[in-house]
Structure formats: structure tokens, C-alpha cells
Structure 1
Amino acid sequence: MTFSFLSWLLRACICSTALVIASALDIKCREIPDELWLAAGPITGALTLFWLLERPNLAPMAVLSISLAALIAALIYYSGLTGGADAKALVFIAISMPLTQEEFLSTILAEHPFLPMASFSNALVLSVLLSMGILARNLAWRLRTGEPFFEGLEGSALTKALVLISGYKVRKEDFLRSSFLFPLEAPSGSGGRRLTLVVRLDEEREREVRGWLAEFQGPEYVWVSPGLPFVVFLTGGFILALVHGDVLFHAIHRTIKFLLGH
């Protein structure tokens, strides 16, 4: 076993473990302590540095990969699309494993060597698949119960469309007993109910909304979201990238080759 492959294996194991822990903490506590990245990052970063010293020809691509990941992390954070922990997780992946293992670069699984980009792309694919699953669940619920989706709820057509792919209806008592579901309903100014796309509220605001729903004499079902943080999808995307590369890039590449007759 060469040092290069051993380094790749160690970095993959440490990075996967840290991401799984981060996902569990974010789901349970809604917070990922910086100590997690500070504990794992220097170890994987040092292993990456030693790997590049042995493979100096890969250094320019590694620097490019880390730079691209840092740019995307900054964009998704400052645009408000994700939180700081998700951006840090992407940078952590870039520092830990900027490139696919050299022996895999020529295989069909890689097609491009930038592992952080593949992880991010795969995370987007997984989030879209979850949205499709949620939509299918909502359609099945509508056919099974015959209940309307949005009776008595205020919200624009766009908001309703987004709620259909990001949340689902559960019995009010089931929601109030759960600590892993987040409300997609809030009180409106007219004393009724309105849809909201703010999935993850701060604890005080969530307690207020839960208290309001508990007292509100309304329908049997309420809209909720599992509220999975993006780091969960990023973790899945990273593991998928290790075994199958960039799924979206692979599909696009194969489609273009098919259309061109290659």
C-alpha cells in the first residue's frame, strides 16, 4: 500500500467521520461547534500537504479546487442560502480532499478531479431527490385523505408551490410531540394562518409558533418540514463522490456524448 493511497484512505475516513458527526449535531442541537473542524482540519490538512509534496504535479489543481470551494462557500453563505456551518463543511472537504485519488483520475467514475465540487453537486442532486419524494408524499396524502392542501392558509402561489416540495402535512398532535419537525405555518396579521418558508427558526421563535399552534382552534393537519440542514446532504454528497464521482456531471457528460454520437 503506497503512502499516496494510505493518505487518501485516512483523509477519507477522517473527513467522513467528521461530516457524519457534524450532521448529527446539526440535526440534534442545531449547531456545529467550531471545535469539530479545528480538531479534524489540521490533521487532514497536514495529510493533504504531505500528499502534495509527494505529488507536486497535482498542486496547481489542488489549489484551484480549494479556491473554487472557498468561493462557493462564501457565495452560499453571504447569499443566505446556507448557514456558516455548511460553508465551513465545504471548505473542510476541500482542505481534506481537494482532488480525487490520482489512480482514479482516468476512470469513468471521476471525469473531473475536483472532489469538493463533486460533493456539492451531489448534495444538490440529493436535495432535489428529497423534494421529489416530498411532492410524491403530498400527492399520495391528497389522494388518500381527500383533504385540501391549503384551506384557510394565506400565501402566494409561489410559496405554496415551494411548500409542496419542502414540507408535508401531519396531525397537529404528532407535530407538537416531535422535536425534529419544523413548522411551515405562522400566525398572520389578520388572526389566521399563513405559510412560511423559514424552515429553521431560532428556539424562542419556534416555541412561540408551537404554543400558538397548540392553542389555535384550527384544522387537524398542519404543514411541517423535516428541516434537514444542508450539511446532511453535503455528507451524503461527499460519500457518493468517493464511490461514484460527480453524479450530475457524469449524467450531463454521458448525455452530450450520446447526442453527439460518441
Structure 2
Amino acid sequence: MNIIYLLQVVLTLVMLIHTSILDIKTREVDLKVWLIYSPLILFLYFDYKLVIPFLYLYSVITTNVMIYVFYRLALMGGADLFLSVILSLGNAVVYPFFFPKLSEEGIEPLVILLYASLLIGITALGNMIRNLGHINGDLPFTTKLSLMISGKRIKVRDFLNSKFLFPLTQIDEKGNVSLRTTFSVDEDDAEWRKKFQEYVNKGIIKEDDEIWVVWGVPVIPFILAGYVISLIIGLPI
């Protein structure tokens, strides 16, 4: 472990902490922020001789293709994609305290994604447990499962005073109600609150009515946590 590696880790943590704060507060990270942190990819110059080329390329390509697919499906934002590219190129090698072998040989980008996904999955499982008993039994199984994993049932009043919540309950001008199971990261939560406020004002719905919503999850904090875990535990195989 040398000064260059320590500098790589510290600067990566600074980037992840900074962008995590922005993600939590606004769900947006300005392109200029990524330009500031893009020189982190220069650490690849010090790492590329240490990795197994095929293993590293497999890890980088797999990680970024997966993030790109989620981005194209509007399930993740552009900030997550920019971060993934910088993180995977700037951290080809890390030296975990436990199970370091594969992380020292180039699989680090995939390990970070694995731990971040695991943490998101644990969060989803906790939400699923909280939703037990709150799902209408007449709904299709796939709809019930989706609502249990990502949804939350709240009063319209609470939704109007919220931030970064998106309605899964859909209501039209005639008061007809339907459910959706996904939303796009391109949606504006403020516009949804404005629309539901208009429904309340017109008497279409009441503030005490309950609706299903989904939280616009800030992904970067999970990637930060995944990176920290990867510095402690590599891939235990």
C-alpha cells in the first residue's frame, strides 16, 4: 500500500461523499461536477499493469453496460452513469483487508456494483416486510409484488407535503383510479404534487384519501456504501 493508492482512495471517497450529498438533496449532479472529478481516471495509469486485463475489462464492461441499460430504461439517472465510468476507471485495483485477491486483480468495479445492489435489495426487503397486510388481495400478483417492494401507502395530504415521492396511484379528471408499478427518473415530483393539489381543489380526491407512492431512490449513497464495503471486504470466493 503506497501514497498513490491512499490518494486514490481518499479522492474517490471525496467524490462519492460530495455527489451523495447532492443526490440526496436534489437528485441531480451537475455535469461540471463530473468534469472536476474526471481526472480520477488517471489512476488507471498506475493500476493497469497490476490487473489481469481480461478480468478487468470484463468487470468494467459488465458494470457500465448494466448501468447504461438501467439509464436507457429511465430507471437510473445520467449522474449514476457518469459516476460508474469514473469509479470503474479510477479504481482498477483496491486492497481490501479481507478476501483481497480478485479486487487486486481487477474485479473491483463489479464488486462495488454487487455490494451497492445488495444494499438496495436489503432496503427493498425491509419495505416489503413493512407492506405486509397493506396490499389489496384483488390485485395481480406481479402488481402486488412490485408495490410491496418499492411502494408506500400514504395520505394525499402527506404526499402534497413530500419531496421526491412519485404517485403510483393514477387518477384522471373523472376520478377514475388505476395503478402503475414503475416511474421514470425524468418525471418531476413537483409537477405531480401540483396535479394532485388541483384534484383536491376540484373535489376529485380528498386529503385524507390514501394513495400508493414510490420514493425516488438516491443511488449514489448506495454506491458510496458499496465502495466502502469493498475496501474492507473483497469478493469472498
Alignment counterpart, residue 123 of structure 2, candidates 130, 141, 145: 130
Other-structure match for 2:232: 243
- Taking the aligned partners of 2:12 and 2:163, their CA distance within structure 1 comes to 28
Trace 1:167-178 onto structure 2 (pairs within 5 A).
167-178=151-162
- Taking the aligned partners of 2:162 and 2:190, their CA distance within structure 1 comes to 16
2:78 is the alignment partner of 1:88: no
Other-structure match for 1:109: 99
Other-structure match for 1:37: 34
Trace 1:54-203 onto structure 2 (pairs within 5 A).
56-58=49-51, 60=53, 62=56, 65-101=59-95, 104=96, 108-113=98-103, 114-139=107-132, 142=133, 149-150=135-136, 156-188=140-172, 191-196=175-180, 197-198=182-183, 200=185, 201-203=187-189
Q: Let me know the Cα RMSD of the aligned residues.
A: 2.9
Question: Which structure has greater helix proportion?
Answer: 1
- Taking the aligned partners of 1:213 and 1:150, their CA distance within structure 2 comes to 23
Cα distance change, pair 69–46 in 1 and its aligned pair in 2 (3 A): same
Q: Which runs of 5+ in 2 are unaligned?
A: none
The answer (yes or no) to whether the contact 1:155–1:194 under 8 Å persists in 2 is: no
The answer (yes or no) to whether the contact 1:122–1:237 under 8 Å persists in 2 is: yes
- Taking the aligned partners of 2:86 and 2:17, their CA distance within structure 1 comes to 13
Over the matched positions of the two proteins, sequence identity in percent amounts to: 24
The answer (yes or no) to whether the contact 1:115–1:241 under 8 Å persists in 2 is: yes
Cα displacement (A) at 1:63: 5.1
Show CA shifts across 1:150-170 (max 9, x none): 49xx96432232011102222
- Taking the aligned partners of 1:56 and 1:181, their CA distance within structure 2 comes to 46
Aligned residues: 228
SS of the residue 1:112 aligns to: helix
Higher RCO (CA < 8 A, seq sep 6+): 2
Other-structure match for 2:192: 206
Show CA shifts across 1:44-72 (max 9, x none): 222332x23xx734373555544443333
Cα distance change, pair 20–209 in 1 and its aligned pair in 2 (3 A): farther
Show CA shifts across 1:17-55 (max 9, x none): 21222222223222111111111121x222332x23xx7
- Taking the aligned partners of 2:61 and 2:158, their CA distance within structure 1 comes to 45
